[in-house]
Amino acid sequence: MTLKEFISKGDRFAANAGAKLVTVKDGYAMSQMVVTKEHLNAGGVCQGGAIFTLADVALAAVTNSNFQLTFAIDSSIFYHRSAMLGDLLTAEAVAVSRHPKIPYCEVKVKNQDDVLIASFQATCYNKRVPLEGVDALE
């Protein structure tokens, strides 16, 4: 099984939210989501948790690209602009520090017009447990 399949099938919350993992490479991942009416908050814009979920699924792919179980232990997000109904959001995650135990990653979320919607940062913890059955990235 690929890491892309492992995360896409295993992260049911992200899948139910419409976040799809598009690309997984060593130290890089990209996820996408179209903002639907189910993503809107009471103010009529995309709920921050939906954007966070999109960034988090890209983070999961980039931090687990070493085929070892790795989880976020601290993460934060800054919302630069609102995402609107119909927007195609793309989250691109990069490994900034590939420390063997405590990797650090950054994710940028942009809309279809390349406008920065959110910046997400996360410090993670590598449990050094192999991802069973995962033998390729894509």
Q: What is the pLDDT of residues 111-123, one digit of tens each?
A: 999 999 999 999 9
**Count of domains for the chain:** 1
The predicted model scores a pTM of 0.96
Instruction: Please give the pLDDT value at position 4.
Output: 97
H/E stretch holding 8 reads: helix 3-10
CA–CA separation, 14 vs 56, rounded Å? 9
Domain-embedded: residue 84? yes
CA 112 to chain centre: 17
Instruction: Please give the pLDDT value at position 50.
Output: 98
CA–CA separation, 97 vs 46, rounded Å? 30
Domain-embedded: residue 135? no
Instruction: Please give the pLDDT value at position 60.
Output: 97
String of DSSP letters for 112-135: TT--EEEEEEEEEEEEEEE-TT--
Q: Which domain holds residue 47?
A: 3-130
Domain-embedded: residue 65? yes
Q: What is the CATH number of the domain that holds 87?
A: 3.10.129.10
CA–CA separation, 36 vs 34, rounded Å? 6
Instruction: Please give the pLDDT value at position 127.
Output: 96
Instruction: Please give the pLDDT value at position 48.
Output: 98
Q: What proportion of the chain, given as a percentage, has pLDDT over 70?
A: 100
pLDDT band at 43 (very low <50, low <70, confident <90, very high): very high
Domain-embedded: residue 137? no
Domain-embedded: residue 124? yes
Q: Average per-residue pLDDT in the chain?
A: 97
Instruction: Please give the pLDDT value at position 90.
Output: 99
Domain-embedded: residue 70? yes
Identity of the residue numbered 116: L
64-93: average pLDDT: 97
Domain-embedded: residue 88? yes
Domain-embedded: residue 49? yes
